[in-house]
Amino acid sequence: MQIDRGWTGAVALALILSSLGCGSDDGTKPSDDANDDGGGAGDNGSEGSAGNGNGGNAGSNGDNNGNAAGNSGDSSNGSNTGASGGNANGEAKCNEAADAMATWTLLDPKLPELGTPDQNADGGKSLGFTGIAYGNGAWVAVARNIGEDVIRWARSEDGLSWTAHSQKTGAGTTFTNSRVHFVQGKFLFFGEHTYNGGAVSYAYVSTDGKTWTANKMSDSRLVLDEFDSSGELTVLAGHDMDMRSSSDLVTWIGGPGVTTGFYSYNDIAFGNGLWLTSINGAGHLYSSQDGMNWTAVSGVTSPGRGFYMEYGNGVWIIFGSVWKLSSDGVTFTDTQATGPVGAPRFTGGRFVTWRTEYSDKSYPDQLTVASSLDGAAWHPMGSMMLEAPADVIALTATGNDAAFGKCKLVIAVTLTVTAGGKSQVKPMFAVGALGK
């Protein structure tokens, strides 16, 4: 799972793809996905499946175990559960067809607090979402805000009606926020804040996405790129080879992590009892059984940029300068991605990827989504036109994250519109329905 997966931008358009038929409240994370979030308890069972490899089994066997595992598995892994664990609560399963198509509708959540073209009254900026997660019956999308003394997020229980929220930071003003994932039965994201001429970092934890508990991690700025969970242990990886882990999401322990060289981690993911991470610079891929001690995976490198990774349905996808697939996280085979070639996320029992394309305009104005059950064969899920003013000069849509729940897939996208001599960041949601 990776934080921005190479997508950057400033207005969030959360895409909801009511696509996977209808069924349990499943969560997902293209976990990177342990990130995509597993769903909450019952819902999670579904997600859990993917969620850690372990989560999947639990999810399909029956709710509580599936949820716990799935939740942590969250994005990258949790999604699997979502699809197979759909019956954990006695509800109908979501549409699992590999070639399922969705019908898209664009929604304006009217949340100006989460996307502003200029500085707000406090001197800070809110620039859309960093990511989105599903769990315990709700979606939570955390805002990318800078220079404010509050954290901001949006929450929805049906994927259609969203409410903006804010809460005082643990200390200082916001500098950067990580993605949000649903792990170990809770929503989790990390905030790096400017404080008293220095910096401070917090882990924000919530069970319902309504209020957050701020747990102080460090009296310094930790640039945390991505994190995932096995269901019992959550591990995060960041800049300057900073790796930390926690079993309770409150106390975080450092290292040892990768001990060769001094770079930054690109991503980290868990699946089927194995952890994978990668660093930039030399671009090596590393594996671990415990999330703490790492060994280089022989013959797998992506010099200069490293890899990002996703796990689901018994398959590892790593992508950087090339795409590779593996069933064991040890031996990888090159593959040629087809369809939208954005960074994939595993959620709702499938890998999902998306990108913006040109129709008949001078700017990309169409969002196209594709999915895959095995990371090799990709199928279109549909597309939608991005609305823009008549005098638009440029339109940029950036994908950040995706989360599956209640048979809806929500893809967080940042949309920036340049028109009338200024740029505007406007959070939006697109809903794509699949049906059974």
Rounded CA gap, 137 and 157, in Å? 6
Q: Could you tell me how many residues make up the chain?
A: 436
Question: CA-to-CA distance for 204 and 186, rounded, in angstroms?
Answer: 10
Confidence of residue 127 (pLDDT cuts 50, 70, 90): confident
Residue 326's pLDDT is 97
Confidence of residue 1 (pLDDT cuts 50, 70, 90): low
The three-class DSSP label of residue 68 is helix
3-state DSSP call for residue 66? Answer: helix
12-18/428-433 β-pairing: parallel
Say how far residue 358 (Cα) sits from the centre of its chain.
Answer: 25
Report residue 152 as tokens.
Answer: 């901001």
Note the pLDDT of residue 98.
81
State the pLDDT at residue 318.
94
Q: Which two tokens stand for residue 254?
A: 């450092």
**234 pLDDT above the threshold of 90:** yes
pLDDT at 240 over 50: yes
Task: Quote the DSSP letter at residue 61.
Answer: H
pLDDT, residue 61, reads 31
Residue 388 has pLDDT above 60, yes or no: yes
Mean pLDDT, residues 47-69 taken together: 33
**Residue 276 to residue 324: CA distance in whole angstroms:** 13
Instruction: Give the pLDDT of residue 382.
Output: 84
List residues bridging with 151 in a β-sheet.
167
Spatial contact of 120 and 148, defined as CB atoms under 8 Å apart: yes
Quote the radius of gyration of the chain (alpha carbons, Å). 19
Number of other CB atoms surrounding residue 389 within 10 Å:
12
pLDDT higher for 206 or 57?
206
Mean pLDDT in the chain?
75
Q: Render pLDDT for 297-311 as a digit per residue (tens, 0 to 9).
A: 998 988 777 889 999
Question: Over the stretch 335-358, which tens digit does the pLDDT of each residue have?
Answer: 876 666 677 889 888 898 888 777
Average pLDDT for residues 43-71, to the nearest whole number? Answer: 34
pLDDT at 119 over 50: no
State the DSSP code for 86: G
pLDDT tier for residue 146 given thresholds of 50, 70 and 90: confident
- With residue 269 as reference, give the H or E element that holds it: strand 265-271
Residue 209 has pLDDT above 50, yes or no: yes
What is the per-residue DSSP string for 213-251? EEEEEESS---EEEEEE-SS-EEEEEGGG-EEEESSSSS
Return the higher-pLDDT residue of 88 and 334. 334
The beta strand positions in 84-162, using DSSP E, are: 103-107, 125-135, 138-146, 150-156
Return the exposure string of 405-419: e unless at least 16 CB atoms fall within 10 Å of the residue's CB, then b. Answer: bbbbbbbbbbbbbbe
**For the segment 276-304, what is each residue's pLDDT rounded down to a tens digit?**
999 887 788 999 999 989 999 998 988 77
Phi then psi for residue 39, to 5 deg, are -135, -175
Q: pLDDT band for position 165 (50/70/90)?
A: very high
DSSP string, 102-115: -EEEEE----GGGB
pLDDT class for 262, splitting at 50, 70, 90?
Answer: low
CA 137, chain centre distance (Å): 17
- In degrees, rounded to 5, the angle at the alpha carbon of residue 435 between the alpha carbons of residues 430 and 436 is 150
Burial 49-71 (b: 16+ CB within 10 A, else e): bbbbbbbbbbbbbebbbbbbbbb
Please give the helix or strand (H or E) that residue 47 lies within, else none.
Answer: helix 41-52
Identify the residue whose tokens are 């671009």.
283
**Mean pLDDT to the nearest integer, 183-187:** 97
Q: How many Cβ atoms are within 10 Å of 394's Cβ, its own excluded?
A: 13
Strands 173-177 and 163-168: unpaired
Comparing 1 with 378, the larger pLDDT belongs to 378
The pLDDT assigned to 216 comes to 94
